[in-house]
Chains A and B, each alone.
Chain A
Amino acid sequence: MSQIEFKNVTKEYISGVKVLDDVSFSVEQGEFIFIVGPSGAGKSTVIKLLLREESMDNGQILFQGKNIVEILPSEMPDYRRKIGVVFQDFKLLDSKTVYDNVAISLEVVNADKKDIKNIVPNVLSLVGLLDHADYRPQELSGGEKQRVAIARALAHEPDVLVADEATGMIDPDSADEVVEILEKINSLGTTVIMASHDQRIVDKLTKRVIKIEKGKIVSDKKGGKYRA
């Protein structure tokens, strides 16, 4: 059983434009995959559908064998905790410190205070920001903000880490650092799905690359390149 399966997924907006058209692919536990394509190709829609932020019009998405459409609203928080998400715009809370921004993902599930005190420094150390725990997001660089976002996504030990254009708003050096961290996380067993149109990063890592154009998968290759 694959960890994630997209089966003939179609998503159409009210305007009649198909953002995803009969998309099928599967992701195995522990894989690192890139979803690439030009802006508007449908990369972010794949992620939104997986997170059930949006609903599909046709097809099925299975997560660990379960059709995500059948997940009840009361089960959604549990489902969301299995998928850590990192966004292009970081989505950090400016009023909270780096420590609190990471701790929030544990506080929302009423985690024990002791556990929070253990886990947060660990994940901050994993992304190299332990010494920035008391900083506020506005005091950090773009790359550092993205690393905080990764730490937050990792705090509740998700099965899958999804990064939507995670390197889109940061400089190349910071982007390399972020990707290095994602590789490290992947090597620890977490599946990583990264939507990106950063050719340099994709080509450097030589991972599986799923290319989407105009809502259709045009290629799906292991060890692929952006233009392949």
Chain B
Amino acid sequence: MPKVWNSLKHYLKKEKLMTVSHFLVMGITFLILGIFINVVVLSQTMLKYLEDQAQVTVFFKDEFGEDKINPFKDQLSSDERISEVTYVSKEEALRIFKEINEDQPVLLESISASVLPASLEIKTKDIADLESLSNELGQKEGVEEVRFYKDVVERFRSVSNTVYIVGAVLVVSFFIISYSVIISSLRTAINSRGSELEVMKLVGANDSYIKKPFIYQGVFFSVMSAVVASILMIILDFGLSKWDIFSKGLSIGFFPDFFISPVNFSLILSCILIVSGFLLGYFGSNAAVKKYLKY
């Protein structure tokens, strides 16, 4: 280990420009990788928040009083598709209306609780059930109107899915780019030590002796680049956490109803980047040196 470390230190000292360019290229690659993973998770989180807000609002006719609405509400609560039903009385509706329009006193003077309809706000376990539920509720007795902002959710879902697919493709692409960068940078290093490798082989060096310094070098460059990228990711997610943009935390697309704080997410992402850096460095340097070990 110390000998390999010395050889690595010697390389870093001797090839300063090459070292800087390796770090820059790989650091930027890992940073972009981290940013894309973040963008994918943020878009998934926003979708989750939007889906949580998505609801069907059922407005009742004035003659359909609270005595009829409550049994209707109980009936809905037992529906398996529904996760939450909230009754908004005429008085509650007026309070909300006043809150929203507090800067328009003239409008508020002309409004009383009697003109606003009582309503039920219904959330489903699966956002896909909103539409069918909305159609069903529209047929019910006493229902004046059913509101469901289908387009907003659908549009954002489509944007989010696009981000997810594009992000996944870019993440895979950047893994491939990182792998190629490691191989090409190590090949340059190997070529510059071609005569040394030739001599080593001729005097009977075994493969692991020849490979070891290059594997350490590859792993060192990629892990250090991943560490730098991870620190920047932690700073970014620490900012998100400070601004408290997502009160429940970030949502990971693969795990429904799972939320994680941005800081914890950035720590997990850092681990992923560093482990990826290690694996890319290890396999990349193995692949780079393999060509030179053929007998």
The B115-167 residues at the A interface (CB cut-off 8 A) are none
A93 to B200, CA, bound (A): 10
Q: Give the number of chain B interface residues (Cβ < 8 Å).
A: 17
Q: Is B206's beta carbon under 8 Å from chain A?
A: yes
On chain A, the residues within 8 Å of B201 by CB distance are 80
**Main SS at interface, chain A:** helix
Q: A104-B203, A108-B209, A109-B206 are contacts. A73–B195 as well, Cβ < 8 Å?
A: no
> Would you call A80 and B195 a contact (CB within 8 A)?
no
Chain A residue with minimal CB distance to B202?
Answer: A85
Q: Mark A85-97, 1 if CB is under 8 A from B, else 0.
A: 1000001110000
Instruction: Give, as a whole number of angstroms, the nearest-CB distance from B200 to chain A.
Output: 5
A76-B203 contact given A91-B195, A91-B198, A93-B195, CB 8 Å threshold: no
Find out whether the CB atom of B295 lies under 8 angstroms from the CB atom of A52: yes
Q: How many A-B residue pairs have CB under 8 A?
A: 52
A51 to B202, CA, bound (A): 8
Contact of B204 among A52, A81, A91, A92 (CB under 8 A): A81
How far apart are B214's CB and chain A's nearest CB, in angstroms? 15
Measured CB to CB, the closest approach of chain B to A91, in angstroms, equals: 5
Q: Are B203 and A156 in contact (CB under 8 A)?
A: yes
Is B199 touching A91 in the complex (CB atoms < 8 A)?
Answer: yes
Asked whether A81 lies within 8 Å of B203 as measured between CB atoms, the reply is: yes
Minimum Cβ distance to chain A for residue B265 (Å): 45
- Whether, in the assembled complex, A77 has its beta carbon less than 8 Å from a beta carbon of chain B, the answer is yes
Which of A52, A80, A110, A156 meets B209, CB within 8 Å?
A110
Q: Does the CB pair A76–B295 fall under 8 Å?
A: yes
A residues with CB within 8 A of B: 51-52, 73-74, 76-81, 85, 91-93, 104-105, 107-110, 152-153, 155-156
30 contacting pairs across A/B (C-beta < 8 A)? A51-B202, A73-B293, A73-B294, A73-B295, A77-B205, A78-B204, A79-B204, A80-B202, A80-B203, A81-B203, A91-B195, A91-B198, A91-B199, A91-B202, A93-B196, A93-B199, A104-B199, A104-B200, A105-B203, A108-B200, A108-B203, A108-B204, A108-B205, A108-B209, A108-B210, A109-B205, A109-B206, A109-B209, A110-B209, A152-B203
